[in-house]
């Protein structure tokens, strides 16, 4: 295919009827973006980004992201457009803009007459997050007429701790949170945890906002957003991107650190020392072979599969397989899918499974035989077990001390056509005794930031020490028992937050 869509005869005819002056104004409105020629990955979906409301720079940035995600984009002149995306404008205004750009009158084309959907930017942002065009919900549609009322933030200020807020998976401020989270990662790559946390906190607060942040004034409602974050937010709100963030994303150091820390078994420090030594690619690492740990070698060997997101269906399949095997060994053993999947994520980087048994102590006889059996069946490509050290060694870090196994599983892919098809998948098996199960369930459901906030709240506000093992009261020198997550929230004096609202 070559060139962009040409105006059809009808559009060309309409163009001829437009007074010369109008035509000039339309042409002078801005440089015409080169239109995508590729058909895109999603048949039946042709996007047009309405500059009215988005601004030229933001429009170009979004267009780049949409194309990279496989969307087909056409200009306003194309009759093939199915989804027109705008921001802060009404359906009428968007139609009027489209009509002006194609030199026709707004009455030529309406949403209902042609199946053209007039959508708010939230639809595109959520679709980009999902990696596919989402079904259109009523809330995605532009309001019919009149200027979108500039919504004021809730007068109620967001509570200070992430664990006091409800944070759904799909939120309204993806552009801003992605920018802030890039800076958070970059700061963590430099070992500056405090700075990293400041960016993470600001991003997390934005995720809990019930609507898109409209202006910097709305920030008053957000707790813990410092000067630097404000500057970045302002830049993104005004220009659609932040120069600082874009520079980070382009930098060799950031890209290399992203690549290296994405390898199973490679932490920030290791990645940073490799970068320091001049290593840049996986090929560079493979050439340095002998210095890699067994875990890192496996991480590198299966890198491509492990970098491919695990789907919920794959995670469920692994959970069922592990449960069947566990129950063969211990009939009442339980296997619970935790981590991001329990928070409602459709994709994940690994499969986190929490193992237990209704009878305290019986769980100790589970992991050894389970791993041996899975290994014997050729289902494990890598495994590394750690014993339970709870109550034996003083815990040095925030890491918990459950018996566990880090593994790479060989998951058969029955639907892939080739009957022998399989993929490597990261699996964490964690074993908790019944008395600690609720705490382990809460601790392993995440998100990481939600957990951090729960622990900070417990310590600062309640003088209690929360971990995945229990809730310790130092005054009474005892662990406070709980058998459900609801009870733990109650002990902390917090409103219950459901797993799907813990995406802080
Ligand atoms: P993950 O790192 O697997 O994150 O840890 P995730 O939320 O499932 O997201 P994906 O996998 O990238 O899609 C899951 C949760 O388990 C806890 C953390 O609180 C985290 O939120 N966890 C993880 C621990 O408590 N200890 C660990 O060693 C690892
Ligand atoms: Mn996970």
Q: Tell me whether residue 332 is one of the annotated catalytic residues.
A: no
Report whether pLDDT(145) > 60.
yes
Atom of ligand 1 nearest to the CA of 347: 13
323 versus 149: which is more confidently predicted? 323
**CB-facing half-sphere around the CA of 6: CA atoms within 13 A:** 7
- DSSP letters, 394-407, are ---SS----EEEEE
Range of lowest pLDDT (78-92, 179-193, 294-308, 328-342):
78-92
Outline where 192-333 has alpha helix (H). 193-208, 227-239, 243-250, 252-261, 268-276, 282-287, 294-301, 303-306, 312-329
Distance CA 500, CA 105 (A): 46
Going 58 to 64 to 67 to 68, the CA torsion angle's sign is: negative
Q: In 3D, which of 157, 207, 163 has the Cα closest to residue 460?
A: 163
Residue 412 main-chain phi, psi, to 5 deg: -65, 145
The one catalytic residue in 108, 284, 428, 473 is: 428
Ordered domains of the chain (ranges, CATH): 37-149 (3.40.50.10190), 163-249 (1.10.150.110), 251-301 (1.10.150.20), 310-442 (3.30.460.10)
Query: What pLDDT band is residue 21 in, cutting at 50, 70 and 90?
Result: very low
Q: What is the pLDDT of residue 30?
A: 39
Atom of ligand 1 nearest to the CA of 345: 13
Name residues contacting ligand 1 (CB within 6 A).
339-340, 345, 348-350, 352, 399-400, 443-444, 446-448, 451, 468
Could you report the per-residue pLDDT of 430-456, keeping only the tens digit for each?
A: 999 999 999 999 999 999 999 999 999
Give the three-class secondary structure for 335.
Answer: strand
Tell how far the Cα of 349 is from the centroid of ligand 2, in angstroms: 6
Q: Tell me whether residue 495 is one of the annotated catalytic residues.
A: no
**What Rg do the C-alpha atoms of the chain give, in angstroms?**
26
**Do the Cβ atoms of 300 and 260 come closer than 8 Å?**
no
Mean pLDDT of the region 160-177: 97
Q: What is the pLDDT of residue 298?
A: 97
Query: What pLDDT band is residue 101 in, cutting at 50, 70 and 90?
Result: confident
Q: What is the pLDDT of residue 121?
A: 86
> Mean pLDDT across the chain, nearest whole number?
87
Query: What pLDDT band is residue 32 in, cutting at 50, 70 and 90?
Result: very low
Q: In 3D, which of 371, 443, 439 has the Cα closest to residue 405?
A: 371
**CB-facing half-sphere around the CA of 328: CA atoms within 13 A:** 12
**Do the Cβ atoms of 81 and 46 come closer than 8 Å?**
yes
Q: Residue-wise over 76-99: b if at least 16 C-beta within 10 A, else e?
A: bbbeebbbbbbbbbbbbbbbebbb
Q: What is the pLDDT of residue 17?
A: 41
Going 290 to 295 to 299 to 301, the CA torsion angle's sign is: positive
**With pLDDT > 90 as the criterion, what percentage of the chain qualifies?**
67
Mean pLDDT of the region 313-324: 98
The one catalytic residue in 92, 120, 186, 350 is: 350
Range of lowest pLDDT (10-14, 347-351, 365-369):
10-14
Q: In 3D, which of 376, 368, 361 has the Cα closest to residue 329?
A: 368
Distance CA 352, CA 445 (A): 9
**Do the Cβ atoms of 326 and 356 come closer than 8 Å?**
no
Q: What is the pLDDT of residue 266?
A: 97
Report whether pLDDT(474) > 50.
yes
Q: In 3D, which of 358, 357, 355, 352 has the Cα closest to residue 337?
A: 352
The one catalytic residue in 352, 418, 473, 495 is: 352
Q: Tell me whether residue 186 is one of the annotated catalytic residues.
A: no
**Do the Cβ atoms of 443 and 485 come closer than 8 Å?**
no
Tell how far the Cα of 502 is from the centroid of ligand 2, in angstroms: 14
Report whether pLDDT(169) > 70.
yes
Q: What is the pLDDT of residue 355?
A: 98
Q: What is the pLDDT of residue 392?
A: 83
Tell how far the Cα of 444 is from the centroid of ligand 1, in angstroms: 6
Give the global pTM.
0.73
Q: What is the pLDDT of residue 472?
A: 97
Atom of ligand 1 nearest to the CA of 446: 21
Name the residue at shortest CA distance from atom 17 of ligand 1.
444
Q: What is the pLDDT of residue 362?
A: 98
**How many residues would you count in the chain?**
504
Report whether pLDDT(151) > 60.
no
Q: What is the pLDDT of residue 236?
A: 96
Peptide bond connecting 447 to the previous residue in cis, omega within 30 degrees of 0 = yes
Q: What is the pLDDT of residue 397?
A: 66
Report whether pLDDT(113) > 70.
no
Q: What is the pLDDT of residue 289?
A: 63
Q: What is the pLDDT of residue 357?
A: 98
Mean pLDDT of the region 112-118: 73
Report whether pLDDT(28) > 50.
no
Tell how far the Cα of 350 is from the centroid of ligand 2, in angstroms: 5
């Amino acid at each position: 295919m070559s060139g962009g869509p040409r105006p059809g005869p009808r559009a060309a005819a309409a163009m001829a009827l437009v007074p010369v002056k109008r035509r000039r104004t339309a042409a002078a409105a801005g440089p015409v973006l080169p239109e995508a020629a590729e058909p895109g990955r999603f048949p039946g979906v042709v996007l047009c980004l309405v500059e009215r409301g988005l601004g030229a720079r933001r429009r170009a940035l979004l267009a780049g992201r949409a194309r990279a995600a496989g969307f087909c984009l056409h200009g306003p002149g194309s009759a093939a457009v199915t989804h027109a995306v705008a921001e802060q404008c009404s359906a009428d205004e968007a139609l009027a803009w489209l009509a002006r750009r194609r030199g026709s009158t707004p009455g030529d084309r309406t949403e209902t007459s042609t199946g053209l959907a007039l959508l708010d930017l939230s639809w595109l942002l959520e679709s980009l997050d999902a990696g596919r065009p989402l079904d259109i919900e009523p809330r995605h549609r532009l309001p019919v007429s009149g200027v979108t009322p500039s919504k004021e933030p809730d007068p109620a200020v967001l509570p200070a701790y992430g664990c006091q807020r409800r944070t759904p998976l799909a939120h309204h401020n993806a552009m801003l949170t992605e920018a802030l989270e890039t800076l958070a990662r970059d700061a963590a790559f430099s070992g500056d945890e405090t700075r990293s946390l400041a960016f993470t906190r600001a991003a997390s607060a934005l995720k809990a906002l019930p609507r898109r942040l409209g202006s910097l004034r709305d920030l008053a409602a957000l707790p813990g957003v410092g000067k630097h974050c404000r500057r970045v937010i302002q830049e993104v709100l005004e220009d659609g991107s932040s120069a600082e963030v874009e520079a980070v994303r382009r930098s060799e150091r950031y890209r290399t650190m992203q690549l290296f820390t994405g390898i199973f078994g490679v932490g920030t420090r290791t990645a940073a020392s490799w970068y320091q030594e001049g290593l840049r690619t996986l090929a560079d690492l493979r050439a340095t072979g002998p210095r890699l740990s067994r875990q890192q070698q496996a991480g590198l060997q299966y890198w491509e599969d492990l970098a491919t997101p695990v789907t919920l269906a794959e995670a469920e399949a692994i959970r069922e397989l592990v449960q069947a095997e566990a129950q063969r060994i211990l009939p009442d053993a339980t296997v619970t899918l935790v981590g991001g999947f329990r928070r409602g994520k459709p994709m994940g980087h690994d499969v986190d499974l929490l193992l237990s048994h209704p009878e305290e102590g019986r769980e100790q006889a589970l992991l050894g035989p389970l791993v041996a059996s899975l290994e014997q069946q050729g289902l494990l490509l890598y495994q590394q077990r750690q014993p339970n050290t709870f109550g034996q060694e003083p815990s040095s870090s925030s890491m918990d001390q459950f018996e566990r196994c880090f593994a790479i599983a060989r998951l058969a892919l029955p639907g892939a056509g080739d009957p022998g098809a399989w993929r490597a998948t990261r699996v964490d098996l964690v074993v908790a005794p019944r008395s600690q199960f609720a705490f382990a369930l809460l601790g392993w459901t995440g998100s990481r930031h939600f957990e951090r906030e729960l622990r900070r709240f417990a310590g600062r506000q309640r003088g209690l020490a929360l971990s995945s093992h229990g809730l310790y009261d130092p005054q009474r020198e005892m662990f406070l028992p709980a058998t459900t997550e609801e009870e733990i929230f109650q002990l902390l004096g917090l409103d219950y937050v459901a797993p799907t609202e813990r995406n802080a």
